[in-house]
Structure 1
Amino acid sequence: MNNRFRVGEVSRLFKLPASTLRYYDEIGLFKPKYTDPETSYRYYGVEQFSVLDTIIFLRKNGFSLKDIQYQLDKRSPETTMEILNNKLEEVRMEIFRLNRSAERIQNKISTVEEGLKLAGHPALTFEYFPKRAVSYLYFDKPVDLIEEGDNLYLKDKETLSSQSIENNGFFTGDIGTIVDIESLEQDGPVKYIGVFELLHAEEREECLNEGWYASYPHIGPYEEIRKSYQLVLKQLKKERYELAGTPIEISVLDEAVIKESDHFVTLIQIPVTKSFD
């Protein structure tokens, strides 16, 4: 049996591109052991294949060429344990990151599903919420977000940039607002005293109050949300509910997933108590 193999033969046996083998040769990672003195053809020996198997295993499991070269040069139980333990820690961290990503994606799927359900059957409902962790992007004097929203957004981006905080972006269902309740009793636009990011399944000191909320989906542009408030407040008064706190809004379906503002879904949530007078 022939125990010497050309590049093409090794490529076929190990299902590796010939270009990869040539690159390994070029950088000194895995070079043909033999040279035919008459033809100058270079050959790999079968005894080298265990090394190539090692390289393939390490590459398939995410090791860098630098780490592989280190392992091949040092090649001892101690160095093997060292690089394997280092990679195991990297893999565990990546698994954690991927699990977090999967949770976030699942949250978004649930949010879109909820938005479609709300859009199909808008109705006033009552729901008890535990404390919900938030991170405030703005909490100050009342502002008209239609006019000032872009400025607040840019200010937040500047803050994140200056503090070298990782920007994970926002997507539908992430952002909520706190309503200036006095603006609901006045003419003009609805104003807001707070903008927050809703932090799913995280523990934070800043939280929305737990309790019973009257929930109603506003369908359409933000500019027309006052109409939905008028409807909700009228119904709450009729059913003898009293406001027990400041209304909030959560953007459920927004420009991230829908082009037409007529189909936006913004969930109005108002803390309430039942009056028995």
Structure 2
Amino acid sequence: MKEYFTIGEVSKLFQVKIATLRYYDEIGLLRPEFIDEKNNYRYYSTQQFERLNSIKYLRALDLPINEIIDFFNYREIDTLVELLKKQKEEVAKKKMELELIEARISRRLLQIEDAVTTTLDKITEVKLPEMRVAYLRQEYVIGEDIELPITELRNSFGMDGEIFSGKIGISISISNLNTHNFDKYSSVFMVLEEGDQIASSSVMIPERDYLRIRFKGTHLDAAAYYEKLLDHMKKHHYELIDDSFEITLIDYGITNDIDKYVTEILLPYIRK
């Protein structure tokens, strides 16, 4: 029976790249049984197959190379058990992270579908559940590029720029709304979702009633729709109780077609 195998043969047998086997040799994880001095060929013995199988198994568990080396240097049952327990914890953590990402994707798909199929230019009365919101309080004039404050918001709260992050919007203060001053925004905000970890405190917005309108366009087109909402509120004897929420549901982040942009305005109210 054949006892020695070239690096190429071992590579094919175990489906391990030659470059990987050479790397294992360099770091002392798996050295060849001997190297032919004439042609510098590496040869592995069948007795090394078990070690290579163990390396493949531990790598499949995503164990770091340095921990695998330590295991072989101090090979004990307890050492392997501790390694596997530690890796099990890492797998559970990654599983939880992937489940959160999956939930974010599902929410994002629902949001896009809702925005695409929504009825435009119609005022509706909606009750929204409690929301956790991160604010950056700062005044902006309509027409200014809000990408900088959005970036500042993310940095201020230690949030990354993932596409699956929560809804981002701007607010007009209740004082400006009451005076029909729609050209200044008082804050940029993000509606936080499950799993969002932020460096600073957030604000809990309680469950409450809102007047909502969705329209084709962006913040630049919003003034007329604020007027419609306030007129509706006056007609039905409602009282405005807080700043607005203005969120672009579909914008350049999703499509190049500006005719498909959809923005939502929410005004919180109570019945007098």
Same fold (TM over 0.5): yes
CA deviations on 1:59-114 (whole Å, 9 max, x unpaired) are 12211221111111111011112222222222222222222222222222222122
> How many angstroms apart in 1 are the aligned matches of 2:38 and 2:240?
94
Q: Structure 2 vs 1, CA of residues 241 and 269 (structure 1 numbering), >3 Å: closer, same or farther? A: farther
Contact 1:173 1:252 in 2 (8 A): no
For residues 29-48 of structure 1, what are the structure 2 equivalents within 5 Å? 29-34=29-34, 42-48=42-48
> How many angstroms apart in 1 are the aligned matches of 2:125 and 2:5?
75
The structural deviation recorded for 1:182 is: 4.1
Work out which of the residue numbers 237, 259, 264 in structure 1 matches 2:261. 264
Q: Structure 2 vs 1, CA of residues 6 and 232 (structure 1 numbering), >3 Å: closer, same or farther? A: same
Helix, strand or coil at the partner of 2:30: coil
Correspondence 1:168 to 2:160 = yes
- 2:172 aligns with 179
Helix, strand or coil at the partner of 2:143: helix
Correspondence 1:83 to 2:83 = yes
Contact 1:6 1:44 in 2 (8 A): yes
In the alignment of these two chains, the number of paired residues is: 266
Work out which of the residue numbers 188, 193, 206 in structure 2 matches 1:195. 188
Helix, strand or coil at the partner of 2:28: coil
Contact 2:153 2:189 in 1 (8 A): no
- 2:238 aligns with 242
Alignment-mate amino acid for residue 44 of structure 2: Y
For residues 45-194 of structure 1, what are the structure 2 equivalents within 5 Å? 45-118=45-118, 121-138=120-137, 143-147=140-144, 149=146, 152-153=149-150, 155-156=152-153, 160=156, 166-169=158-161, 171=163, 174-184=167-177, 186=179, 189-194=182-187
Helix, strand or coil at the partner of 1:212: strand
- 2:204 aligns with 207
Helix, strand or coil at the partner of 1:146: coil
Q: TM-score, normalised by structure 2?
A: 0.82
> How many angstroms apart in 1 are the aligned matches of 2:262 and 2:78?
59
Work out which of the residue numbers 218, 223, 242 in structure 2 matches 1:221. 218
The structural deviation recorded for 1:183 is: 3.3
Alignment-mate amino acid for residue 5 of structure 2: F
Contact 2:135 2:189 in 1 (8 A): yes
> How many angstroms apart in 2 are the aligned matches of 1:53 and 1:116?
52
Contact 1:184 1:226 in 2 (8 A): no
Helix, strand or coil at the partner of 1:193: strand
Correspondence 1:231 to 2:224 = no
Q: TM-score, normalised by structure 1?
A: 0.81
The structural deviation recorded for 1:40 is: 7.4
Alignment-mate amino acid for residue 212 of structure 2: S
**Unaligned ranges ≥5, structure 2:** none
CA deviations on 1:225-276 (whole Å, 9 max, x unpaired) are 11112233334444x241341332223223322334443222111223446x
Aligned-residue CA RMSD (Å): 3.0
The structural deviation recorded for 1:147 is: 3.5
Alignment-mate amino acid for residue 169 of structure 2: G
Q: Structure 2 vs 1, CA of residues 49 and 155 (structure 1 numbering), >3 Å: closer, same or farther? A: closer
Contact 2:136 2:153 in 1 (8 A): yes
**Unaligned ranges ≥5, structure 1:** none
The structural deviation recorded for 1:135 is: 1.1
Helix, strand or coil at the partner of 2:93: helix
Contact 1:136 1:196 in 2 (8 A): yes
Contact 2:166 2:193 in 1 (8 A): no
Contact 2:215 2:263 in 1 (8 A): yes
Work out which of the residue numbers 241, 251, 254 in structure 2 matches 1:254. 251
The structural deviation recorded for 1:195 is: 2.3
Contact 1:173 1:251 in 2 (8 A): no
Deviates more, 1:220-229 or 1:182-191: 182-191
Alignment-mate amino acid for residue 266 of structure 1: T
Alignment-mate amino acid for residue 54 of structure 2: T
